[in-house]
Structure 1
Amino acid sequence: MSLKDFHVDVTELAFWGTDLARPESVLAEPDGVLWCSDARGAVTRIDPDGRQTLLGAQGHEPNGLAMSADRQTIYIANIGDGRVYRMDRAGQEQVLLESVGAQSPLGAANFVFVDRRDRLWVSVSSRELPWWPAVQHARPDGYLVRIDEKGAQIVADGLYFPNEVRMNHDESYLYVAETMQRRIVRYPVLADGSLGAQEVAPPGDLGHGAYVDGFAFDVEGNLWVTLVVRNEVVVVTPDGEVYTILSDANRPAIDNAVAKLSDGSLTPMDMFACAGAHLQLPASITFGGPDLRTVYVGSLGMQRLPTFRSPIPGLPMRHWS
């Protein structure tokens, strides 16, 4: 099936998990185990039989998740307390990063990604905590950090609320959701781990209320993107074509949020008012299942994970290799 013809009826979504708190990010393992961020602790493990285990005691806002190649360590970016943690499968956690160079504290740590060389790439949405003013009054104070055997280093700066970060199939580019610019940007990854000049991924600005939160690659190079305020999932092809595959848009609330953002008066309640009847503030996309065609959607406003089947497999993450 062509993506142009693929559409998921929002009323026919399936769901997985119960009683989750702000399950913003989701990890899927090859054996069917899921891990999602959970504000009641740090993460919740969901086994294939549906049994759930809450782990960790971070509180605040555990956000983006990644997993080591051996699947023994989960990395957690906590956007609420401004730290990156590492946690073992039993729930023992320790702070991995809370400052870098002269930047102390770290700021609003949003997401972490593990590449094939086991380097960690961290997005920091704002140098300010709490992070809401960086949404209400958008400013280019977000940055990216690389963590490798030499330590942590800022590798890109001047971003408007950088959110999820991921690499393409050959890891030649690092892609970044630049939420408050409603677009995805990318950087060439150089041989020494530094980044080249920023490029805007086609088509650039995704339009009215299209605040990009999370995204994932499929094996054909398409980007599956969550638009948190519009309650939509869209697919962006390498050429910049955009197909809406899932939508639960609350148009009056979206218009209100955009208007309030323009004058700097947006409140969290205005954003949460944008929630749809079936899909509330989608924040991330994860491919799972044995064939990597089962899609799980993380969110800021739901207590379970919407799920549906994709016609194209997702690009495997580091811990699937």
Structure 2
Amino acid sequence: MTIPAPFSPFISGYTFFESPRWHDGQLWLSDFYTQQIVRVTLQGEVTPVAEVPEQPSGMGWLPDGRLLVVSMRDRRILRQEADGNLVTHADLSSVALGHINDMVVDAQGRAYVGNFGFDLMGGGTPRTATLARVDPDGSVQVVATDLYFPNGSMITPDGQTLIVGETMGNRISAFDIRADGSLGPRRDWARFGELPALTDMASVLGSLSAAPDGATLDADGAVWFADAVGHRVVRMAPGGEVLESRSTGEQGAFACTLGGPDGCTLFVCVAPDFYEHARRAAREAAVWTTTVSVPGAGRP
């Protein structure tokens, strides 16, 4: 695997990494098709954290430190108890029309969870999706609708704004977070093009100028996102100005986060593509790193 400048190798040999999180001085990752969560020291030492048989994705932590993780296929949020066991925290099967995926957890322990909206890997017809809020007691509410594959969710450092990448929508959206956890109306944080016609995946992918996947905020209020169709990570300002773009060459970029001792290491999850049949059978996923000038901020 050729690694283009300015990236450096971090870990490799996995199936498909998503939802990188910098937490307690280590990088936490979900590996889809080995069904595991791992944490990794800066020296590259990997420790398994949990097994999620129905495919792990988004992660976050409750105020008391317990881990929450998305279980994609059965549309549940799992909670890791002090003894290491995973229990059901919430069931989203009544509100999610596809696999649930990315998640961000706020300071009060409220989780905002997206879903595919359709059977992506089974060749289903694309459709819009909901965004759900899971309260600390496990209750579920739909807080936004008609989103084009909500992904890469972030919360600003003041806890007042939720930012959501719409991977199939040519846009990043923002919502005011009210005191009770409900959301104000959707507004454009950035727009790259017209909303695609949701006819078939090939047409949708062909109409995207950028496809924001896993994403992270920095201290200047910019967003770094992995462009799932552009083989790059992008730093973007509110309004849509591209401040920086770093190519991942032949590898696709599917998620990123900022971390490290000074918050200025960008960890990027790469793989040849995102197709389940190819990734499940291979061990070609990796995490690369690069150094940036502005540290991470907000959540996740």
TM-score interval, normalised by the smaller of the two chains? 0.7 to 0.9
Tell me the distance in 2 between the aligned counterparts of 1:176 and 1:292.
21
In the alignment, is the contact (CA less than 8 A) between 1:166 and 1:176 conserved in 2? yes
Per-residue CA distance 1:125-167 (angstroms, 9 max, x = gap)? 21x4x43368x63312x11111224621111112121112111
Deviates more, 1:38-47 or 1:57-66: 57-66
Q: What is the letter of the counterpart of residue 288 of structure 2?
A: P
CA shift in 2, pair 1:81/1:43, >3 Å: same
Tell me the distance in 1 between the aligned counterparts of 2:29 and 2:115.
20
Q: What is the letter of the counterpart of residue 108 of structure 1?
A: H
CA shift in 2, pair 1:138/1:105, >3 Å: closer
In the alignment, is the contact (CA less than 8 A) between 1:292 and 1:316 conserved in 2? no
Tell me the distance in 2 between the aligned counterparts of 1:49 and 1:239.
37
Tell me the distance in 1 between the aligned counterparts of 2:210 and 2:42.
33
User: Could you tell me which residue of structure 1 aligns to residue 39 of structure 2?
Assistant: 45
Q: What is the letter of the counterpart of residue 58 of structure 1?
A: V
* 1:303 corresponds to 2:285: yes
Q: Secondary structure at the match of 1:313?
A: coil
User: Could you tell me which residue of structure 1 aligns to residue 120 of structure 2?
Assistant: 131
Shift of 1:37: 0.4
CA shift in 2, pair 1:160/1:104, >3 Å: closer
Question: Which residues of structure 2 form unaligned runs of 5+?
Answer: 195-206, 273-283
Q: What is the letter of the counterpart of residue 103 of structure 2?
A: V
Tell me the distance in 1 between the aligned counterparts of 2:58 and 2:146.
20
In the alignment, is the contact (CA less than 8 A) between 2:61 and 2:109 conserved in 1? no
User: Could you tell me which residue of structure 2 aligns to residue 217 of structure 1?
Assistant: 217
Tell me the distance in 2 between the aligned counterparts of 1:234 and 1:173.
21
Between structures 1 and 2, the one with greater strand share: 2
CA shift in 2, pair 1:34/1:79, >3 Å: same
Shift of 1:117: 1.8
* 1:180 corresponds to 2:171: no
Q: Secondary structure at the match of 1:17?
A: strand
Q: What is the letter of the counterpart of residue 311 of structure 1?
A: S
RMSD across aligned positions (CA): 2.6
Tell me the distance in 2 between the aligned counterparts of 1:105 and 1:228.
22
Tell me the distance in 2 between the aligned counterparts of 1:24 and 1:107.
17
In the alignment, is the contact (CA less than 8 A) between 1:84 and 1:109 conserved in 2? no
CA shift in 2, pair 1:13/1:149, >3 Å: closer
Between structures 1 and 2, the one with greater helix share: 1
Per-residue CA distance 1:167-203 (angstroms, 9 max, x = gap)? 1222222111111112111111122221111101124
User: Normalised by the size of structure 2, how large is the TM-score?
Assistant: 0.81
Q: How does 1:1-321 map to 2 (within 5 A)?
A: 10-31=4-25, 33-38=26-31, 39-71=33-65, 73-88=66-81, 91-99=84-92, 103=94, 107-126=98-117, 128=118, 130-132=119-121, 137-140=125-128, 142-149=129-136, 151-205=139-193, 208-248=208-248, 276-277=249-250, 280-301=251-272, 302-317=284-299
CA shift in 2, pair 1:122/1:88, >3 Å: same
CA shift in 2, pair 1:15/1:59, >3 Å: farther
Shift of 1:231: 0.9
Question: Which residues of structure 1 form unaligned runs of 5+?
Answer: 1-8, 249-275
CA shift in 2, pair 1:41/1:202, >3 Å: closer
CA shift in 2, pair 1:148/1:172, >3 Å: same
